[in-house]
């Protein structure tokens, strides 16, 4: 994901300085612990095809895929679904700590959705070479648009009890409130805010540089 994407998206949520400071240890824990601490033994995520995803930039991602995991039972009225979008560099399995703490899975049907360019959903690392350039201008709004399609077109869910997100997930929660204001009863952004600062650009720029360097090194 392009670090400058967070600046370009018109109306897209931004991560504030305090939020970035709070989220930084969480992001590091998510990225650095892989391969060192065994992840919970979850089955593989479900991956569905969205066909072509048209982005705010005008670019398209052919064979666009959305990945997700679910926890808890969906009630007969389909009114107890809670969406958890992934934080920056996080996969759906990295959000296990939220189950039973941030969200009660005995009451709610929790859908942890891997954001575009994040986790198991379509990203430059798992897309065809001709589709990779489209991710350069990916926005938070594009992520939320794909999640909306996942819910409506594939899961048959047209209303959410809540959207709960941490860090970049919180930015997506804000975007849900703006883009689809009647879709969720409540949005809960955690360590996220709707404006970006120079500090945020520094943090995400450093993370982007580290990821690119690791890629060149074959890590």
Going from N- to C-terminal start, the domains of the chain cover 5-216
pLDDT of residue 37: 45
75-114 per-residue burial string, b: 16 or more CB within 10 A, e: under 16: eeeeebbbbbbbbbbbbbbbbeebbeebbeeeebbbbbbb
CA angle 156, 13, 182 (to 5 degrees): 40
Mean pLDDT of the residues in the chain:
82
Long-range (24+ apart) CB contacts under 8 A made by 180-184 are 180/144, 180/148, 183/148, 183/158, 183/159, 184/83, 184/159, 184/160
150: DSSP letter: I
The mean pLDDT of 1-15, rounded to a whole number, is: 33
Answer whether 158's CB lies under 8 Å from 151's CB: yes
Q: Is the pLDDT of residue 11 over 50?
A: no
Q: Is the pLDDT of residue 62 over 80?
A: yes
Nearest to 168 by CA among 126, 208, 209: 208
Answer whether 107's CB lies under 8 Å from 80's CB: yes
pLDDT of residue 41: 66
Q: Is the pLDDT of residue 200 over 60?
A: yes
On whether the 5-216 domain is CATH 1.10.1580.10, my answer is no
Query: Among the listed ranges 57-66, 109-118, 127-136, which one has the minimum average pLDDT value?
Result: 127-136
pLDDT of residue 205: 85
pLDDT of residue 34: 43
For 162, the token pair is 């809540």
Answer whether 93's CB lies under 8 Å from 69's CB: yes
Q: Is the pLDDT of residue 33 over 80?
A: no
pLDDT of residue 5: 32
pLDDT bucket at 40, cuts 50 / 70 / 90: low
The mean pLDDT of 17-26, rounded to a whole number, is: 34
pLDDT of residue 208: 79
Nearest to 148 by CA among 190, 180, 170: 180
The mean pLDDT of 138-148, rounded to a whole number, is: 97
pLDDT bucket at 193, cuts 50 / 70 / 90: confident
Q: Is the pLDDT of residue 10 over 70?
A: no
Strand partners, 111: 70, 83
117: DSSP letter: T
């Amino acid at each position: 994901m392009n670090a400058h994407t967070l600046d370009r998206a018109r109306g897209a949520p931004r991560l504030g300085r305090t939020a970035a400071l709070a989220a930084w240890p969480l992001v590091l824990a998510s990225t650095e612990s892989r391969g060192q601490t065994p992840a919970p033994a979850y089955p593989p995520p479900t991956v569905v095809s969205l066909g072509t995803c048209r982005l705010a930039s005008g670019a398209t991602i052919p064979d666009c895929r959305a990945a997700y995991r679910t926890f808890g039972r969906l009630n007969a009225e389909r009114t107890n679904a809670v969406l958890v979008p992934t934080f920056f560099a996080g996969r759906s399995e990295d959000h296990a700590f939220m189950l039973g703490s941030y969200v009660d899975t005995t009451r709610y049907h929790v859908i942890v959705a891997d954001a575009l360019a994040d986790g198991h959903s379509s990203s430059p690392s798992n897309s065809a070479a001709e589709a990779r350039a489209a991710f350069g201008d990916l926005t938070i709004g594009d992520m939320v648009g794909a999640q909306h399609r996942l819910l409506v077109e594939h899961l048959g869910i047209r209303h959410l009890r809540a959207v709960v997100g941490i860090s970049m997930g919180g930015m997506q929660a804000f975007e849900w409130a703006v883009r689809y204001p009647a879709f969720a009863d409540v949005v809960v952004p955690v360590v996220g805010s709707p404006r970006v600062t120079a500090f945020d650009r520094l943090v995400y720029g450093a993370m982007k540089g580290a990821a690119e360097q690791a890629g060149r090194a074959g890590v």
